[in-house]
A and B are shown apart, each in its own frame.
Chain A
Amino acid sequence: MSIVHTGEQQAIASESRRVLDARTDKVRLLGLLQGIGEYDRPFWDTAVGQGWTGLAVPEAHGGLGLGLIELGLVAQATGAVTAGAPFLTTNHGAACALLAGDDAALQARWLPGIAAGEAVGAVAFAEGAVLPAMPRTELVDGRLFGVKTGVTAGLRADFAVVWARRDGKPALALADIAGISRRPIDSFDNSRLFADLVFSDTPATLLAEGDAARIMALDILARMAVITAHEQVGGAEALLFVARDYANTRKAFGQPIGAFQSVKHRIAELYGLVEIARANCIHAAALADDPGGQPDFLKAAAAARLAATEAYDTAARDCVQIHGGIGVTWEAGLHLHMRRARSLAIEQGNMLFWEDLLAAELSGVSA
């Protein structure tokens, strides 16, 4: 369907960009790469202060009741500055699980905290593969056993939505994880707070099981993938402009390097990748927010995800290359984008997952 953004939506986009440009500190972000379990508190304070945490939470639960279009625009702004905390995406996934799970007590327990930016939820689906057909993690008599790997925000989350098996069928469960064992991952992008979550006799509430759980999990994953795709577009676009500005000012052989076609065509190609990814993102977000958009949403989310991953990876590669030696230095910080391009490419399912899923949607044949 695609849409033209309303004045309010454009204001959210420009205001979030403005605020984050003013409050992001590259040196602080570089520092976060070297610690485990640390995230960018000034960023998260900003997110809370600006009301981004409650954007897509229903009004009945303390949020603003908007949708993926608005949250996507904020995610685009956070992607542009490689923001130092992953909670906007994980909390949206967790909120979707709570809303779909339809358990009033759980909703009352967590949703107002998500809207206020006080609670953090993690979406613990992966065991290597992002959504294994039959997970090893098991739910027995309301208790979880098993290990979820590389969970984003895993070092900070208060609760987790867990993809598990129950009586030989897949299930979605929600667990308070305050007391569980977390194995921190010393990662190439540490502010994502990756951890393996070790469940051992952990009390959990069943949200859904069987096919209903599978459909719900896929929908949650697709919605998070659309937010991530926006973040990737923001990052790719920021790199496009950085590359453009550098090519306009850096001179070699008596002219700006942007006058050489090997450089300028590379930058023009990035523009194409960014705009195709952006258009796919807008389309997918609009379908997600439209009650009639469900039948086409999965395809659109997959397309957005594939196009955005390609755009961000390519932009990271080419932007560094265009900068030459300075591009690979710690201080220049282009590696913040290079790292984020890869971590986002893996979170919410890698290219192979989405290619197979989209091919199945288009051909009716599963991998």
Chain B
Amino acid sequence: MSDLEAYRLKARAWLESVAPTFGRAAQAGLPEAQHLALGRRYQRARFDAGFAGINWDTAFGGQGLSPLHKLIFEQEEMPFGMPMGYFGVSLGISVPVVMRFAQDREWARERVLAALRGDEIWCQLFSEPSGGSDLAGVRTRAEPDGNGWKLNGQKLWTTFAQHSDYGVIIARNDPAVPKHKGLTFFWVDMRSPGVTVRPIRLAAAGHDHVNEVFFDNVGLTDGQRLSPVGSGFATAMATLMIERYSASDPAGFGPSIDTFAALAREVEVNGRPAIEDGRVRSALARGYAMRAGLEAITTRAMKMMAAGMEPGPEGSLNKLVSVRSRQKLSELAIDLMGTLGLAWDQHASSKDDWVASWLAAPTGRIAGGADEMLLNTIAEKILGLPQDHRPDKGVPFNQIPA
């Protein structure tokens, strides 16, 4: 047995041992505060068992293993539905940035350890009312103020800002230069005076997880700067690459194809089992073929990593293809249930309930890169097609028509 296979078995055994404490059944019906508390205890248990910061430097409390070990753990963890959502952005994006770029290294080490233990949570303050896909269009201002900076503006769609102790933020320090050039990257204490967080209720059920965040004369020291002044955009792009390998779900974080097959055997169309209907068989077969392809891409990427090779860019297809397909399959599943499909259980999980999956699917197609932006990236970065026409290119930010 290879080292990686042994690691997979070890991870699985541990996950099985803690599943009764933290798994789906243990979370059922918990109010938000208790669910978050359970999530923190789960993260702590992961840390104590040596499954936190798997591919991070041991000097920062990590395990010093490869990204492949991390991927394997995440793959094993996914079916259990553990309460780890609160730490996705924190440990997947924000904390790695702090670990790499924070000026005060001892402070950084303390923060990383606290985050790995689940004691502290970090958010990422990128999107704004006037710019989500157009990240370099942010309007939140960072103006020099004595030896430090003063933040004013508004962020939007900030995941778990309401539970966050800290955040990483990109803000405009110079509106008189072209938009990519006048940005700087900082960390911010979310409990600072002048920070206001307001949760946003989404159309889909579940606990609120995104927020609008207001900054009203929030003071920052220059030690909170994570990039050179005016180079924040490049740093922001680099941060998105730090943890670029994370476990994907060919089901688009919706119900599995087996769940669809089971439904199709159960319900009837024209007085016969739906599974005997050609339209249903077609959707089942094509859904499977697409997911099997995504799964094969992932398997091949992991084998390449294990062989010390860089996986191909086709790994970037997963979110685009899988969530879109989950949306349509969920619509069809609700169709198949007929009037029985009208019920809405607000506590149901997107992983096993078609209505919950359908209602939350649009979020999946927008958050973390809208479908259209992902298609642009594939076209431009992989295929070498031209950029879109950009009238704001090279124009000082304060002269771009708002």
Q: Which residues of A contact B (CB under 8 A)?
A: 1-4, 240, 244, 247-248, 255-256, 258-259, 261, 264-265, 267-269, 271-272, 275-277, 279-280, 282-283, 299-300, 302-304, 306-307, 310, 352, 354-356, 358-359, 362-365, 367
Contacts and interface: CB of A to CB of B under 8 A. Distances in A.
B293 A259 contact: no
B321 A265 contact: no
A265 B372 CA distance: 8
Shortest beta-carbon contacts, A-B, top 6: A276-B293, A359-B281, A279-B296, A355-B285, A275-B314, A303-B289
Given A268-B378, A276-B294, A355-B281, A362 B288 contact: yes
Interface of B: 257-258, 261, 264-265, 273, 275-276, 278, 280-282, 284-286, 288-290, 292-294, 296-297, 299-300, 303-304, 307, 309, 314, 317, 320-321, 372, 375-376, 378-380, 382-389
23 contacts: A3-B300, A3-B303, A4-B300, A255-B386, A258-B386, A259-B387, A265-B375, A268-B383, A271-B317, A271-B378, A271-B383, A279-B297, A279-B314, A280-B289, A283-B292, A299-B292, A302-B285, A306-B285, A355-B281, A355-B286, A358-B288, A363-B261, A363-B265
A4 B281 contact: no
Contacts, number: 147
Given A244-B383, A276-B294, A367-B276, A261 B289 contact: no
Contacts of B292: 280, 283, 299-300, 303
A356 B275 CA distance: 10
Contact of B317 (A276, A300, A362): A276
Given A2-B303, A359-B285, A363-B275, A272 B296 contact: no
**A interface majority secondary structure:** helix
A83 B351 CA distance: 45
Contacts of A359: 275, 280-282, 284-285
Contacts of B380: 264
B385 A280 contact: no
Given A3-B303, A282-B296, A362 B383 contact: no
B386 A256 contact: yes
Per DSSP, are chain B's interface residues mostly helix, strand or loop, or mixed? helix
A335 B338 CA distance: 44
Contact of A259 (B297, B321, B389): B389
A362 B300 contact: no
Nearest to A311: B293
Given A247-B385, A303-B293, A363-B261, A354 B378 contact: no
Nearest to B262: A363
A259 B391 CA distance: 13
A303 B276 contact: no
A352 B296 CA distance: 23
A280 B285 CA distance: 13
B372 A363 contact: no
B275 A272 contact: no
A214 B18 CA distance: 48
B300 A307 contact: no
Contacts of A258: 379, 385-386
A269 B303 CA distance: 25
A277 B383 contact: no
Contacts of B386: 248, 255-256, 258-259, 264
A276 B376 contact: no
Contacts of A265: 372, 375-376, 379
Given A276-B290, A363-B261, A259 B285 contact: no
A275 B317 contact: yes
A291 to B, nearest CB: 19
Given A248-B385, A365-B265, A4 B307 contact: yes
